[in-house]
Amino acid sequence: MSSVYEKLFDLSLFNAQQSVTVADGFHKRMKQIKELMANDHTAMIVTILDYMNRAGNVPLTFTAPNGNLTNLIENWKNNVNRGLNIDIPRGLRAFTEQYLRERWKSSLITVKLMWENVDGYELPTIMYVMDGSSVYITNNEGSLDTNRYFLGNPRGTSEFSPLSDNDSHSYIIRKPYTQSYDAYPDPYLVRRGAMKHALIKSLILSKQSEMVNTSFAYQLMLKVGSQDAIKRGAGPSEDELKNLLKQFQDRKKDSDEHGYAKGLAGAFPGDVNFEELIPDYKKIMDETIIKPTDKNILSALGMIELRGFSSNREEAILNPKIMVEEVMDGVADYVDFMEEVMAQIKERNSKKYTTKSKIEIEPGIVDTFMTNDMKTMIRNWFDRGLVSQEDALQATTQLNFRTQVIKRDQERKEELDLRMFPRVVQNMNNEETPNEDVPDDKKKNSPESKNFKNANEIKKIYKTIDELPEELKAQWTIAKQVKYIKDLNKE
């Protein structure tokens, strides 16, 4: 009985009627992807895609040679999609999130821009991502410049409308994973193979659920017809057993028709061991069943290194370089998209532009990939004058530079810079006073002191009391200042 049951279980698990196949055609594939993202049975794909989305959603800085134009674009960046709907946030950050989601969902990124006049400039005040699965493409001539895009199927019975530019709106379409001569893209999950293994895992989990659900009904039959109950005179009669069997079969048929359930049920007064009908949970829930599929999904999404790209086995397992590169490529593609938006702004305002009026776009740093060594390097570049104060602060912390400028100005008004000036750690006897709060980059001969300006080097630039900071002059008498300079410059 055991071998027969296991055979039936295997046949049920790999039922030919439930084949694992990625659909043919873009729109059929999108139906499968939407079902997966609505309820991710893999418990991994949506989580990883959400992480990639948050990592790639970096702020953009727009810089124009004209200060007024820079302020205009910055104001547009903060207010795009204002008033579109109460459930759609204003600002470029929310739009960036939708753009990246569509990149890793349909990979057919269709953006509609609606233009209005703002302070004499034509700007896309409304800009949103359309559902890529609703876009249809025709090309009757086979040329690269004859693709026609529609919202809705132009060859179907439902309504459709062409996507074409006019004075009030325009469209930008991007297909990041497709050759120029291919009309429809291969969605990211399909192209990487993640969709195939997601379907395999979903089927395995559904079969495991079936076996767990049906096992409780078999346990109930075992208890009702057990030999011990019959010996105590508490067991059911033959007619009662048959009635219970019929109820169970009717309930089974209504709830779940399984091929392996037919032919395995019977009602007996005793001397029959029903334990063979209870699945072995260790076999059903064995992690080795799903583990290869999980590994393939992680590999498809770039979470596991390809063999030969890492220096050791541990790095090959833990270092998701391919996923990182995909996020960085997504950011670069998004910057290219925004450059196209700026180009259209320039074209629609050609009389206000000169040949030098180029708007530079700089993406922020993907801070989730920042390591301490990278932050140290940025501080080194700041010391060498290669990085601005704003970038040095915002690239290594969550602090906002403009907010810090306002706070520092307020501190000067309240004279907090004088009242909270750091204590001097050197006494007048030319002996250093121990101070456990000295940061690493100020300690002599420490590795940090070799990377940053050492406090002692800064002190040596003071040759006279006139060169001392105003904060020290306000606290010290002239005699104390003179003695400090004398002690400081001793060799």
Among 439, 458, 441, 443, smallest CA distance to 380 is for: 441
Question: Looking at the structure, do residues 223 and 183 belong to the same domain, yes or no?
Answer: no
- Token couple for 190: 């399909």
Q: What is the pLDDT of residue 355?
A: 54
Question: Looking at the structure, do residues 56 and 148 belong to the same domain, yes or no?
Answer: yes
Among 71, 65, 70, 94, smallest CA distance to 82 is for: 94
Residue 122, strand partner residues: 117
Last residue of a domain, one of 237, 263, 286: 286
Number of structural domains the chain divides into: 3
Q: What is the pLDDT of residue 478?
A: 85
Question: Looking at the structure, do residues 77 and 45 belong to the same domain, yes or no?
Answer: yes
- Token couple for 291: 């583990």
44 contacts 239 by C-beta, under 8 angstroms: no
In a domain, 405, yes or no: no
In a domain, 172, yes or no: yes
| Percent helix, strand and coil across the chain, each to the nearest 5 | 55, 10, 35
Range of the structural domain that residue 221 is part of: 2-12+206-286
Question: Looking at the structure, do residues 97 and 211 belong to the same domain, yes or no?
Answer: no
In a domain, 251, yes or no: yes
Q: What is the pTM of this model?
A: 0.70
Question: Looking at the structure, do residues 119 and 185 belong to the same domain, yes or no?
Answer: yes
Question: Looking at the structure, do residues 169 and 210 belong to the same domain, yes or no?
Answer: no
Question: Looking at the structure, do residues 100 and 140 belong to the same domain, yes or no?
Answer: yes
Question: Looking at the structure, do residues 72 and 153 belong to the same domain, yes or no?
Answer: yes
In a domain, 400, yes or no: no
- The set of long-range contacts for 238-246, using a CB threshold of 8 Å and a minimum separation of 24, is 238/267, 238/269, 241/267, 241/268, 241/269, 242/267, 245/221
Question: Looking at the structure, do residues 188 and 88 belong to the same domain, yes or no?
Answer: yes
Question: Looking at the structure, do residues 82 and 157 belong to the same domain, yes or no?
Answer: yes
In a domain, 27, yes or no: no
In a domain, 410, yes or no: no
Question: Looking at the structure, do residues 282 and 134 belong to the same domain, yes or no?
Answer: no
The one-digit pLDDT tens for each residue of the chain (491 residues) are 444 445 444 545 445 456 689 999 999 999 999 999 999 999 999 999 999 999 999 999 998 888 888 889 999 999 999 999 999 999 999 999 999 999 999 999 999 999 999 988 899 999 999 999 999 999 988 888 899 999 999 887 778 899 999 999 999 999 999 999 999 999 999 999 999 999 999 999 988 887 777 665 555 554 555 666 666 666 667 777 777 677 766 766 666 554 444 444 555 555 444 444 555 677 778 888 888 899 899 989 988 765 555 555 554 555 688 899 999 999 999 999 999 999 999 899 888 766 567 889 999 889 888 888 888 999 899 888 899 998 888 888 888 898 999 998 898 888 887 778 777 665 555 544 455 555 555 555 555 555 554 444 444 567 788 888 887 787 788 888 888 887 777 65
Last residue of a domain, one of 286, 316, 345: 286
In a domain, 175, yes or no: yes
Last residue of a domain, one of 366, 390, 411: 366
| Buried/exposed code over 15-49 (b: 16+ C-beta within 10 A; e: otherwise) | eeeeeeebeeebeebbebbeebeeebbbebbeebb
In a domain, 384, yes or no: no
Question: Looking at the structure, do residues 96 and 240 belong to the same domain, yes or no?
Answer: no
Q: How far apart are CA 427 and CA 260, in angstroms?
A: 89
